[in-house]
Structure 1
């Protein structure tokens, strides 16, 4: 067994000598995806007419033959994430059982929303309601039914179904990375299906597909943002709309997004996300107060009711009897493909910031928190635009429908302080652009890297490359045909990855059933009090009291490892071998003052291997009682027992020889019970290589057991 424990990361400041494994470039994924994007961009730039013809033909075929598949996929994903959230497995954490969230609720939701929604929300919040009012998929335009459903269709396209795709990818990423200690990549979610082949070409192919979907999805958002910002600059400074201005905007945005993503999550993306939300709220409040406030609030409540009532029907509506293929391709199919394309990108980013949250908490927050913001924004801006159209301003309506990039700014021109509003909207749009681009570059660098530590990101130069590649692809698509071509390309690229999403759901469900069987196996042993936790024959209450007030330093831990722990584990291994089991004991220095981890593994053939791990965890010395057995350091070391689901909270330091062996046997009996219960199609062949590697941070230590310390983010 190859030990992966040297890659353990601590969110507290590691003691001197602590080591972290650096990310390395996955050249197969990088070359495959990078060459594809560059060649496609050059083809689009050098032969725009041919590219436009080919893309249009493929989109036509998909709209005519695969519309049902996109609709069905969105429905299945939504049902799946809800089933996971409200099942018994919903209480599982994306991380060890003892882990705590790294970010507070506001910061987490702000990053969640800003990474998942870009400037396109401002674009469609006005353009789509007006367009749906004039040309609904069924019935007459400009009717009472059309105006009532206009905002509802926009909410549908930005609502629960799309965010369910983000939730699926996010919880799959987080579960396998933080609970199974697998790389933070899509291939990890397929491990239950294809086993160790995820580390080979099959895994590379999946990551390439995810990366291509990501970059096309992000490029679509950025292209929409570019044409909208171009019009904003025209209004503010008279800069003419056209290719030259758009190239300039792409260059500026790429430079800004590069600087942001290189600075990392905490310093760049986090702060921009928070600022983004606050500026968007300022725009909403201004329009709400300056407009027909009572009407807008009434309409918002009605929009929510209509959306909830219509959701079950429109979710599966393929318009089979009305022949609305063109409308479906331009709206619902495009949005579902767009969400699918964005799902790996946003899902990985959400997992990156959601360690320690339960699956239920993650799903509910992902489906509701952003949607509440979207409801407010779309309802305020969309109904304000509809109010103008129904009030007789047909010129505004036609302009919003035919030149959608101008719709949002044209609406703001109707309010007091229009120049200030337009300037604020342009800055907000630019920040939306940057937060999408820098998050995308960060995630794509992760897709093209081999990273064992889920708290790390891809190399900085790789982030720069993907920021530039995204800008190049955006430019190519704008030269081919503008926003419609970007939408068409997204519809195409989303199809193959939708198949991967089905595989992820199957693999994720198998993994959850496996963990349920593990829990049932442990429960079946009925260990109310483990024998290993009871002092042995030579122990008594004085010894027990002495142990509870002991906070050993590295020398004491090293001495215990050499004299008791290693010999006890070695004796168990020999006994396993004597009974015909393929057992081994591995040890490796982890960098904490020369301390080592010890992993006992019993290979089980096609069944899940048994792993029992003792790992030294650096922990702040408690401040209560004035106890300090190690006056030269603020840290002491716990020799904790780790299993597949994280730390068991057990410190074996100072246990005697028999107690250590008893605890190993307790875990062995629980594992056998798990294997006896875990039968049938859900069995996972070839378990993870080695025991999971759990990050231990200050927040993971129970409240009241550590002194107040400075929070350190990775």
Structure 2
């Protein structure tokens, strides 16, 4: 179901900007340039600070006790193998821009570094390191933060797979109102500009590639045609879903990129390139701490910062909601440590090899005396990659492979982006579902039109500037997400210390009689082996669950404790869900006990199921932090009251532990 406010406002804003850019390109170029100049002078330091804090935070989560927490129930396991998962996160997280910058940036940083003289040995070493820095763990840490937060709250806490869920520990129920809508609108707008930047770079690069191979014209008409092709391919892929469309394209994309990289390594100066790879990685590791907070306060190369570091950090931030939500969607069952370490290392290992091979190959050509190649790579970056391939044998093969690989990079960014923007603007029934197909098509088309509009205004530079602008609002949201995730993880660790278990261990010790009738072990076994239908759960809610929770509320009222019971209809199952809330002290989280109906398949080991496809219904306990993964269907009235009191006592103990100064 579409989230009407988020979809309507974000789509209106995007359409308005697109129309404005097409109708008045000169005015749009002037306004965007002025805003970027103000942001870079006032908030340049902010981008550096936020990027560094995110790196430190995700490393802390991975290496601390929180790293063992699973993104889902404790019994869940990953759905995709490492190669498939790594291919999808790589293809979604990096687009054709990697081909665009892997040659042009090292050459540019070598010839015109931000400080000092160029065209020397130190400039050559630092040139590739700058490119690794801009494509390195800083950006992937942003993806890891968003992916971990969204997957944790969706699969572990049972909240919707949306950005607002990650803010629940910080702002509470306000996430369901205008504040939550505003956060997701900012995410959608930032995301579409981030994707449009990649697509704009891709259009320019592919247009040059087709001109290079087939002597086709480089003009707006060709770029419109390329955008249309990408939209059509992305639409076909995204409508087919993650498993059949995005998964297969991502795997093929990764394999072809590997073949292209190995081709240059084998046919080029192999020993030199291998030496350079090792040196570049060492330089990156040793120089990273100083680079990550280097704002050039005394040198102030503002134009260089806008074109490179500030642009890249804003670009990663703009892509973070999109890639983070996509990673969460495919990462259920992994631990936080597995997730973060993999996100930081698997794609970056490939990127480091790619940049080191292509970047050093390009530098070698320039250093060997081909100044014309260097000037072309710096001043016409869309031609840099193909100009490099032209220096190697079999250029028709390598250029054709590069064009097809670039097209796949292009499409995988567009299709996964359309899917994620659809989900951001929808109210999803559960994390495994996606938004409506018509919405996926809408966002694929909207992204294509926005890309065209920005290219008309001023080409790739305008897209870069727009990304710096649109990434700023969401940078503040990312700090709130860090705070929310840390608070939730800390609460879970403290709750573990109070003795809470996933499946209630004290059921056998509770009062076993109801109205004088002793419940035997055979009756308990019958409850364990029963798989009730919808009617059975409704009857249990009416006859047992509602009276039991109402009795707890009444008893608390006699002791001057504010509590209330609410009942609402769960849309998917049509069964009521019951919410018992107890107000605690000021500043302390309320106790929330919810009975939530869930539909599930009858397991294969159930002896009496009539069909393998038959379903049954559970009544799961949810607390403030989400589902507790156990079913209370069949509990007696006294047993259910006992379960409420068990959880209430543990909540009180948790508050005591949380407020104990020695635990801080």
Q: TM-score, normalised by structure 1?
A: 0.84
CA positional deviation for 1:223: 0.6
Alpha-carbon contact 1:63-1:326 (below 8 Å) kept? no
Q: Which residue does 1:106 correspond to in 2? A: 83
Q: Deviations over 1:167-205 (max 9, x none)?
A: 111122222233333333222222233322222222222
Q: Which residue does 1:278 correspond to in 2? A: 255
Alpha-carbon contact 1:96-1:646 (below 8 Å) kept? no
Equivalent residue for 1:490, pick from 452, 455, 467:
467
CA positional deviation for 1:651: 5.4
The structure in which a higher percent of residues are helix is 2
Q: Whole-Å Cα distance in 1 between the matches of residues 85 and 217 of structure 2? A: 39
Q: Aligned pair 1:320/2:297, yes or no?
A: yes
Q: Whole-Å Cα distance in 2 between the matches of residues 631 and 443 of structure 1? A: 38
Q: Whole-Å Cα distance in 2 between the matches of residues 587 and 35 of structure 1? A: 33
Alpha-carbon contact 2:570-2:597 (below 8 Å) kept? no
The 5-angstrom pairing of residues 542-691 of structure 1 reads: 551-554=529-532, 562=539, 566-567=543-544, 570-571=547-548, 573-580=550-557, 582-584=563-565, 586=567, 599=578, 601-604=580-583, 607-613=589-595, 615=597, 618-623=600-605, 628-630=607-609, 639=618, 641-644=620-623, 648=628, 650=630, 658-679=638-659
CA positional deviation for 1:148: 0.8
Q: TM-score, normalised by structure 2?
A: 0.90
Q: Which residue does 1:168 correspond to in 2? A: 145
Equivalent residue for 1:447, pick from 424, 427, 430:
424
Q: Which residue does 2:58 correspond to in 1? A: 81
Q: Which residue does 2:508 correspond to in 1? A: 532
Alpha-carbon contact 1:44-1:51 (below 8 Å) kept? yes
Quick one: structure 1 residues 619 and 63, their matched pair in 2 at CA, closer, same or farther if it must change by over 3 Å?
closer
Quick one: structure 1 residues 609 and 219, their matched pair in 2 at CA, closer, same or farther if it must change by over 3 Å?
same
Q: Which residue does 2:394 correspond to in 1? A: 417
The alignment partner of 1:449 has SS state of: coil
Q: Whole-Å Cα distance in 1 between the matches of residues 614 and 493 of structure 2? A: 36
- Pairs aligned (count): 648
The alignment partner of 1:611 has SS state of: strand
Of stretches 574-583 and 168-177 in structure 1, the one that deviates more from structure 2 is: 574-583
Equivalent residue for 1:357, pick from 307, 319, 334:
334
Alpha-carbon contact 2:73-2:629 (below 8 Å) kept? no
Of stretches 659-668 and 349-358 in structure 1, the one that deviates more from structure 2 is: 659-668
CA positional deviation for 1:63: 2.7
The alignment partner of 1:388 has SS state of: helix
CA positional deviation for 1:95: 2.6
How large is the RMSD of aligned CA atoms in angstroms?
2.9
The alignment partner of 1:400 has SS state of: helix
Quick one: structure 1 residues 74 and 533, their matched pair in 2 at CA, closer, same or farther if it must change by over 3 Å?
same
The 5-angstrom pairing of residues 119-268 of structure 1 reads: 119-268=96-245
Q: Whole-Å Cα distance in 1 between the matches of residues 432 and 480 of structure 2? A: 25
The alignment partner of 1:554 has SS state of: coil
Quick one: structure 1 residues 567 and 541, their matched pair in 2 at CA, closer, same or farther if it must change by over 3 Å?
closer
Quick one: structure 1 residues 486 and 632, their matched pair in 2 at CA, closer, same or farther if it must change by over 3 Å?
closer
CA positional deviation for 1:547: 5.1
Q: Whole-Å Cα distance in 1 between the matches of residues 146 and 319 of structure 2? A: 10
Alpha-carbon contact 1:250-1:475 (below 8 Å) kept? yes
Q: Whole-Å Cα distance in 2 between the matches of residues 363 and 463 of structure 1? A: 28
Of stretches 608-617 and 88-97 in structure 1, the one that deviates more from structure 2 is: 608-617
Equivalent residue for 1:427, pick from 380, 390, 404:
404
Equivalent residue for 1:385, pick from 348, 362, 369:
362
Structure with the larger RCO, 1 or 2 (CA within 8 Å, 6+ apart): 1
Q: Aligned pair 1:332/2:309, yes or no?
A: yes
CA positional deviation for 1:621: 4.1
Quick one: structure 1 residues 229 and 600, their matched pair in 2 at CA, closer, same or farther if it must change by over 3 Å?
closer
Quick one: structure 1 residues 628 and 173, their matched pair in 2 at CA, closer, same or farther if it must change by over 3 Å?
closer
The alignment partner of 2:580 has SS state of: strand
Alpha-carbon contact 1:25-1:449 (below 8 Å) kept? yes
CA positional deviation for 1:32: 2.0
Quick one: structure 1 residues 635 and 597, their matched pair in 2 at CA, closer, same or farther if it must change by over 3 Å?
farther
Q: Whole-Å Cα distance in 1 between the matches of residues 146 and 261 of structure 2? A: 30
Q: Whole-Å Cα distance in 2 between the matches of residues 434 and 184 of structure 1? A: 24
The alignment partner of 1:450 has SS state of: coil
Q: Whole-Å Cα distance in 2 between the matches of residues 471 and 285 of structure 1? A: 32
Q: Whole-Å Cα distance in 1 between the matches of residues 272 and 353 of structure 2? A: 13
The alignment partner of 1:317 has SS state of: coil
Q: Whole-Å Cα distance in 1 between the matches of residues 281 and 52 of structure 2? A: 20
Q: Whole-Å Cα distance in 2 between the matches of residues 30 and 591 of structure 1? A: 22
Alpha-carbon contact 1:615-1:642 (below 8 Å) kept? no
Q: Deviations over 1:332-386 (max 9, x none)?
A: 1111111111111111111111222222222111111110010111111111111
Alpha-carbon contact 2:544-2:636 (below 8 Å) kept? no
CA positional deviation for 1:326: 1.6
Q: Which residue does 1:53 correspond to in 2? A: 30
Of stretches 514-523 and 363-372 in structure 1, the one that deviates more from structure 2 is: 514-523
CA positional deviation for 1:572: 5.1
CA positional deviation for 1:85: 2.1
Of stretches 50-59 and 410-419 in structure 1, the one that deviates more from structure 2 is: 50-59
Quick one: structure 1 residues 251 and 598, their matched pair in 2 at CA, closer, same or farther if it must change by over 3 Å?
closer
Q: Whole-Å Cα distance in 2 between the matches of residues 528 and 454 of structure 1? A: 25
Of stretches 235-244 and 30-39 in structure 1, the one that deviates more from structure 2 is: 30-39
Q: Whole-Å Cα distance in 2 between the matches of residues 30 and 564 of structure 1? A: 36
Q: Which residue does 1:8 correspond to in 2? A: none
CA positional deviation for 1:214: 0.8
CA positional deviation for 1:566: 4.4
Quick one: structure 1 residues 487 and 241, their matched pair in 2 at CA, closer, same or farther if it must change by over 3 Å?
same
Quick one: structure 1 residues 320 and 304, their matched pair in 2 at CA, closer, same or farther if it must change by over 3 Å?
same
Q: Which residue does 2:439 correspond to in 1? A: 462
Of stretches 151-160 and 104-113 in structure 1, the one that deviates more from structure 2 is: 104-113
CA positional deviation for 1:488: 1.4
Q: Whole-Å Cα distance in 2 between the matches of residues 459 and 633 of structure 1? A: 28
Quick one: structure 1 residues 138 and 564, their matched pair in 2 at CA, closer, same or farther if it must change by over 3 Å?
closer
Quick one: structure 1 residues 319 and 237, their matched pair in 2 at CA, closer, same or farther if it must change by over 3 Å?
same
CA positional deviation for 1:134: 0.6
Q: Deviations over 1:529-568 (max 9, x none)?
A: 5153579485677777x559x733437x966985799436
Quick one: structure 1 residues 391 and 62, their matched pair in 2 at CA, closer, same or farther if it must change by over 3 Å?
same
Q: Deviations over 1:581-628 (max 9, x none)?
A: 524374867877x9x5764623326632331536566354455xxx82
Q: Whole-Å Cα distance in 1 between the matches of residues 348 and 173 of structure 2? A: 38
Q: Whole-Å Cα distance in 1 between the matches of residues 43 and 526 of structure 2? A: 66
Alpha-carbon contact 1:442-1:457 (below 8 Å) kept? yes
Q: Whole-Å Cα distance in 2 between the matches of residues 372 and 499 of structure 1? A: 29
